[in-house]
Chain A
């Protein structure tokens, strides 16, 4: 099946309308307006750059070369503020420690596989490094104490949830659920309100 595509701009156009509540608009507009430059609050600058590079492969955004949806800042901010999401795999150390260890471990994998720093690798080599991590048994002493599979799952899930909370990512998948005022009345199969986007060419 071909991958559906949706017109760009759908969410942004709806944000200004009365279909979106004030609280909803504030949350989404805030993400759209986040400044492009971000000064890390928790991670050291070089560690933050590594996290950004990892996020850049877990969520490649060749379609947004100038301004990708920012993913690493949300992780850094959360750790700086000491926020949690209500649970942690007992197999992993506390989040701050796990991230520092895990990023160091990614460097270890890069060194073991390609004898180079992760940042110096080609995109394909970076992907191989991350696939080794995703597979659960990567090389490196870090992974003798840090559960690779769980670490990868947690990092990927956080970046994924950050990505799809962004209005541009929601435009990409044709989601306009935030424009729910006054109501949805067409909720069955192949039913759609006028304000919901159609697939391009579909």
Chain B
């Protein structure tokens, strides 16, 4: 049992005293326990932590792809819902600059410690903060997984299967594509036939996409304009209004300033607000409180330097694959499976760049303009699973940083190479990843500015990821050579952090059930990339949103019935 400290009568708080705010600790110590009754505290009576407003039906922590869709769904069902988001609420039209450095505020910049033989780059690569979460800077590349992505174990005897099949997610993919206004090809060349096509035509191909078409044609590889959650035409969105078309800024990864990209702040969040959801930005949750029966009663958070308490009947933890397990570990919550923080996965995402005689000006247009899923299950594979191929646009500061880290150029050599920027183009892959015991997230002894332990992420590419990356790099070098590139080089990279609170059929080896509900805690739901049992061979955002809507529907269903 964890050390327990009684904060309120009937409310147990297992967070270890050393991680708490000293002022708060002093206040709590001075406070006679019996004066801290859990209900109806008159305002004039001194309290350790003010309770902000009334109890809500559903409290959501984190407003990215996991939290925002379910917030809207629950609000539309008439429930009293509130969301706490660690970061601020931006006004993209006026606040967002077309400048990579100025946009650094979109990333989770508190330090994560990255360990293992292949440490995962975080910050701008794999994190987000603000109302909208990492969708504020996602590339909006939104392919659906293929059905067998959910059954790697069934097909290969390794990895993990999802507790349900593709057919469970399919209606949500369709709903999301229509609601968000995803631009893509109809019919889609890979996977099962679809009931509905994409609502908008694909975005125009940029230089890198044109070059990838050229190279792939010579090698007999099928390509297609990709599905992207950015509008190729003005689009009327239910509950939100008109959103303007993409202007080809190419700055998706540094924030969209005109609302063309379907980040959560221009889609599900306004919808949620319209139906009465309350949003609390700048609210960092530290403690999750529960009663003697283990039911969650509320959370303690810091907003603008002040500690507050929000009480709730149900909690939806949607904070991503680092902060979700961190909160669970800090609060010693839902840990009986032993899987919290385990099964950390990241997509193999090796990039290949080359220099072309033609001008490419690689910062223009939707970055992930083209796709091929011919490599989903390659015939000559010496590995489990597969990957997709993608053309990539790249902004100059990001590119320069990768040249420094990847090519180890410096001095005049670096300056000379960077003068080729307008002639550079890249392609990359996104591949499946198997869970491994060496890859996990834990709390470090080192504390952050809040006095909380920093997360430490251990990641080492295993044989399967290495073989996949090697296969992909060789293929991409052939594609780029065929397209006419010179000075070809590769940048080894892993993208997306997945799987630290896995979903499964049993509480013996999973943290949440197939509906996202924690096995250990009846009124706790988790919904973000941490619950993915396997990494899938596609970008995760669309599936996180699909899970979010599905979790909300399953929750609402359970509220209608007395037997679940």
- A interface residue numbers (CB < 8 A to B): 1, 3-6, 20-24, 26-28, 57-60, 82-91, 94, 127, 130, 134, 153, 156-157, 160-165, 170, 172-175, 177-178, 180, 182-185, 187-192, 196, 199
Q: Is the CB of B205 within 8 A of A188?
A: yes
CA distance A132 to B115 in the complex (A): 25
Q: Is the CB of A23 within 8 A of B247?
A: no
User: With contacts A175-B363, A184-B247, A192-B361 known, is A85 near B123, CB below 8 A?
Assistant: yes
Q: Is the CB of B94 within 8 A of A1?
A: no
CA distance A50 to B412 in the complex (A): 20
Shortest B444–chain A CB gap in Å is 8
Shortest A15–chain B CB gap in Å is 11
Q: Is the CB of A5 within 8 A of B419?
A: yes
Q: Which residues of A contact B363 (CB under 8 A)?
A: 175, 177
Q: Is the CB of B421 within 8 A of A174?
A: yes
Q: Which residues of A contact B115 (CB under 8 A)?
A: 90-91
Please, which residue of chain A has its CB at the minimum distance from the CB of B95? A23
Shortest B486–chain A CB gap in Å is 7
Interface residues of B in 508-549 (CB under 8 A from A): none
Besides A24-B99, A89-B114, A177-B251, 14 more A-B contacts (Cβ < 8 Å) are A1-B420, A21-B98, A24-B102, A87-B121, A87-B122, A160-B403, A161-B397, A162-B101, A178-B97, A187-B204, A188-B204, A188-B207, A189-B359, A192-B361
Q: Is the CB of A189 within 8 A of B207?
A: yes
User: With contacts A23-B102, A161-B400, A178-B98 known, is A86 near B411, CB below 8 A?
Assistant: no
- Partner of A189 from the list B98, B257, B360 (CB cut-off 8 Å) is B360
Q: Which residues of B contact A182 (CB under 8 A)?
A: 247
Interface residues of B in 59-90 (CB under 8 A from A): none
Q: Which residues of A contact B408 (CB under 8 A)?
A: 134, 153, 156
Q: Is the CB of B400 within 8 A of A163?
A: yes
User: With contacts A1-B355, A86-B123 known, is A173 near B99, CB below 8 A?
Assistant: no
Number of A-B contacts (CB under 8 A): 192
Interface string of B354-374 (1 = CB under 8 A from A): 011011110111000000000
Interface of A, helix, strand, loop or mixed by DSSP = loop
- Partner of B412 from the list A60, A84, A187, A199 (CB cut-off 8 Å) is A60
Q: Is the CB of B404 within 8 A of A160?
A: yes
Q: Is the CB of B101 within 8 A of A196?
A: no
What are 12 A-B interface contacts by the 8 Å CB criterion? A21-B97, A23-B97, A59-B414, A86-B107, A86-B110, A87-B120, A88-B113, A153-B404, A177-B395, A184-B364, A184-B365, A187-B207
CA distance A89 to B116 in the complex (A): 9
Q: Which 10 A-B pairs rank lowest in CB-CB distance, beginning with the nearest?
A: A86-B123, A87-B122, A183-B247, A90-B115, A27-B102, A187-B365, A23-B97, A184-B248, A187-B364, A165-B101
CA distance A90 to B184 in the complex (A): 41
Q: Is the CB of B418 within 8 A of A173?
A: yes
Interface residue count for B (Cβ, 8 Å)?
A: 73
Interface of B, helix, strand, loop or mixed by DSSP = loop
Please, which residue of chain A has its CB at the minimum distance from the CB of B487? A1
Q: Is the CB of B421 within 8 A of A175?
A: yes
CA distance A27 to B121 in the complex (A): 26
Interface string of B478-519 (1 = CB under 8 A from A): 000000001100000000000000000000000000000000
The interface centre, meaning the residue of A24, A182, A185 with most chain B CB atoms within 10 A of its CB, is: A24
Q: Is the CB of A87 within 8 A of B400?
A: no
Please, which residue of chain A has its CB at the minimum distance from the CB of B402? A157
CA distance A37 to B361 in the complex (A): 35
Q: Is the CB of A84 within 8 A of B110?
A: yes
Q: Is the CB of A156 within 8 A of B396?
A: no
CA distance A138 to B111 in the complex (A): 28
CA distance A191 to B362 in the complex (A): 11
Q: Which residues of A contact B421 (CB under 8 A)?
A: 173-175
Q: Which residues of A contact B107 (CB under 8 A)?
A: 85-86
Q: B173 at interface (Cβ–Cβ under 8 A)? A: no
CA distance A83 to B403 in the complex (A): 24
- B interface residue numbers (CB < 8 A to A): 94-102, 104, 107-115, 119-124, 127, 204-207, 210-211, 247-251, 257, 355-356, 358-361, 363-365, 395-397, 400-401, 403-405, 408, 410-412, 414-416, 418-423, 446, 449, 456, 486-487
- Partner of B396 from the list A84, A162, A177 (CB cut-off 8 Å) is A177
Shortest B426–chain A CB gap in Å is 14
User: With contacts A3-B419, A83-B109 known, is A177 near B364, CB below 8 A?
Assistant: yes
Shortest B479–chain A CB gap in Å is 16
CA distance A22 to B414 in the complex (A): 31
CA distance A59 to B414 in the complex (A): 8
Q: Which residues of B contact A130 (CB under 8 A)?
A: 410
Q: Is the CB of A86 within 8 A of B418?
A: no
Q: Is the CB of A174 within 8 A of B422?
A: yes
CA distance A85 to B397 in the complex (A): 14
Q: Is the CB of B414 within 8 A of A160?
A: yes
Q: Is the CB of B410 within 8 A of A134?
A: yes
Q: Which residues of A contact B95 (CB under 8 A)?
A: 23
Shortest B357–chain A CB gap in Å is 8
Shortest A154–chain B CB gap in Å is 9
Q: Is the CB of A90 within 8 A of B420?
A: no
User: With contacts A153-B404, A165-B397, A173-B421 known, is A27 near B207, CB below 8 A?
Assistant: no
CA distance A130 to B456 in the complex (A): 30
Shortest A29–chain B CB gap in Å is 11
Q: Which residues of A contact B123 (CB under 8 A)?
A: 85-87
- Partner of B109 from the list A84, A153, A173, A191 (CB cut-off 8 Å) is A84
CA distance A182 to B123 in the complex (A): 30
Q: Which residues of B contact A189 (CB under 8 A)?
A: 207, 210-211, 356, 358-360
Please, which residue of chain B has its CB at the minimum distance from the CB of A163? B400
CA distance A174 to B360 in the complex (A): 12
CA distance A182 to B59 in the complex (A): 40
- Partner of A164 from the list B96, B104, B397 (CB cut-off 8 Å) is B397
- Partner of B405 from the list A83, A85, A157, A165 (CB cut-off 8 Å) is A157
Please, which residue of chain B has its CB at the minimum distance from the CB of A86? B123
Q: Is the CB of B124 within 8 A of A86?
A: yes
The interface centre, meaning the residue of B99, B123, B414, B487 with most chain A CB atoms within 10 A of its CB, is: B99
Q: Which residues of B contact A85 (CB under 8 A)?
A: 104, 107, 109, 123-124
CA distance A111 to B356 in the complex (A): 44
Q: Is the CB of A60 within 8 A of B114?
A: no
Please, which residue of chain B has its CB at the minimum distance from the CB of A74? B101
Q: Is the CB of B411 within 8 A of A160?
A: no
Q: Which residues of A contact B100 (CB under 8 A)?
A: 161, 165
- Partner of A90 from the list B119, B248, B358 (CB cut-off 8 Å) is B119
